[in-house]
């Protein structure tokens, strides 16, 4: 599965925001992560609508996490931005799903994929960054 640029940028940006532990503007995060500002604005609007971010108005405004970084899973961010993160079409609408001999394999792969992303929180990703640096 190939994740979209939107997801790649979105996950990087929300990790950056989680690391800051204070409201940050799209401009700040855009500059730090080298993400086009207009594109990041759209991504953050989507993440705000999905309940991951809170927007703050005023001179010290910007965005902050809606929940602690320990409560936000990377998989939830990926699923919110991808909308449909399936490894194969048989997970959605394959005409051969009734007689496919590989269907069980693909289901196991999908569960493994979801489990992997479902265990990792933003806090885990922040910690890994500091450990690897």
46 or 85, higher pLDDT: 46
Alpha-carbon span 59 to 62, nearest angstrom: 9
**Residue 29 located in a structural domain:** yes
Alpha-carbon span 68 to 123, nearest angstrom: 8
**Residue 100 located in a structural domain:** no
Name the residue range of residue 25's domain: 5-85+121-132
**pLDDT of residue 111 exceeding 90:** no
Q: Which long-range contacts (CB under 8 A, 24 or more apart) does 75-80 make?
A: 75/114, 75/116, 75/117, 75/118, 75/119, 75/120, 76/52, 76/118, 77/7, 77/10, 77/11, 77/14, 77/47, 77/52, 77/122, 78/3, 78/7, 78/11, 78/117, 80/46, 80/47, 80/50, 80/52
**pLDDT of residue 125 exceeding 50:** yes
Q: Give the three-class secondary structure for 37.
A: helix
Q: What is the tens place of the pLDDT at every residue in 52-102?
A: 999 999 887 899 999 999 999 998 898 899 876 666 666 556 676 677 777
What's the domain count of the chain? 1
Q: What is the CATH number of the domain that holds 65?
A: 1.10.10.10
**pLDDT of residue 44 exceeding 60:** yes
5 or 90, higher pLDDT: 5
**Residue 61 located in a structural domain:** yes
**Residue 96 located in a structural domain:** no
**Residue 39 located in a structural domain:** yes
**Residue 114 located in a structural domain:** no
- Indicate the pTM of the whole model: 0.78
At residue 55, φ and ψ (nearest 5 deg) are: -100, 145
Which two structure tokens, joined as six digits, stand for 42?
Answer: 């759209």
**Residue 74 located in a structural domain:** yes
CA atoms within 13 A on the CB side of 55: 12
Which two structure tokens, joined as six digits, stand for 81?
Answer: 């931005």
Q: Give the chain's mean pLDDT.
A: 85
């Amino acid at each position: 599965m190939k994740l979209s640029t939107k997801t790649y940028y979105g996950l990087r940006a929300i990790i950056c925001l989680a690391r800051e532990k204070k409201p940050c503007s799209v401009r700040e995060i855009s500059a730090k992560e080298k993400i086009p500002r207009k594109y990041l604005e759209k991504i953050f609007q989507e993440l705000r609508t999905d309940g991951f971010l809170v927007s703050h108005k005023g001179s010290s405004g910007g965005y902050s996490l809606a929940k602690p970084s320990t409560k936000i899973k990377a998989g939830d961010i990926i699923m919110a931005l991808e909308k449909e993160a399936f490894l194969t079409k048989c997970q959605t609408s394959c005409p051969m799903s009734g007689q496919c001999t590989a269907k069980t394999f693909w289901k196991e792969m999908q569960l493994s994929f979801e489990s992997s992303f479902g265990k990792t929180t933003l806090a885990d990703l922040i910690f890994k960054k500091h450990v690897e640096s």
